[in-house]
């Protein structure tokens, strides 16, 4: 039986385009940022979990630095936009959360974690030309480091 999961995305790969709804049910299309901004795709397992809560608060705290780096930050998990809305409002998040309810984006990027039926914890930076410029996949219980992401963004033109 095949799960339809692609090989894990690599630096230099063209980023698979997608359209997902955010917590306000507005469609976000990756290719709409092409030629304009870099995009930080912050894949995470679950809303309301301790590690995901902490790291999404950090992404909001560092939001001005991401903006200064000409980057759009989006969180992506397999939760619904209803869950995203309640969680984003509760945490007062500044970045958008995208609902990959059918796991299509997680699978296209090779970042689907089958044992828990959710996305892996991973950061993918897509440069403004639509190429993958940075990938870091982490253990489910290990939070990402915003300083590493900002350092990677600083190397992009």
- Which residue among 40, 41, 42, 52 is the active-site one? 52
CA distance 58 to 66: 11
CA distance 61 to 57: 6
| Active-site annotation holds for 52 | yes
The CA angle 48-52-53, to the nearest 5 degrees, is 60
For residue 14, what are its two tokens? Answer: 């063209």
Tell the residue number behind the tokens 């630095």, with chain if given.
Answer: 65
- Positions annotated as catalytic residues are 52
């Amino acid at each position: 039986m095949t799960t339809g999961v692609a090989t894990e995305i690599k630096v230099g790969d063209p980023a698979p385009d997608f359209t997902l709804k955010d917590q306000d049910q507005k469609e976000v299309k990756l290719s709409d940022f092409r030629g304009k901004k870099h995009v930080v795709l912050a894949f995470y397992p679950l809303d309301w979990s301790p590690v995901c809560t902490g790291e999404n608060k950090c992404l909001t705290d560092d939001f001005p630095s991401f903006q200064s780096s000409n980057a759009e930050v989006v969180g992506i998990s397999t939760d619904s936009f209803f869950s995203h809305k309640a969680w984003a409002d509760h945490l007062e998040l500044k970045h958008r959360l995208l609902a990959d309810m059918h796991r299509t984006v997680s699978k296209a990027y090779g970042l689907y974690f089958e044992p828990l039926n959710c996305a892996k914890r991973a950061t993918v930076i897509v440069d403004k030309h639509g190429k993958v410029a940075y990938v870091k996949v982490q253990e489910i219980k290990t939070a990402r480091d915003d300083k590493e992401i900002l350092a990677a963004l600083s190397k992009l033109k």
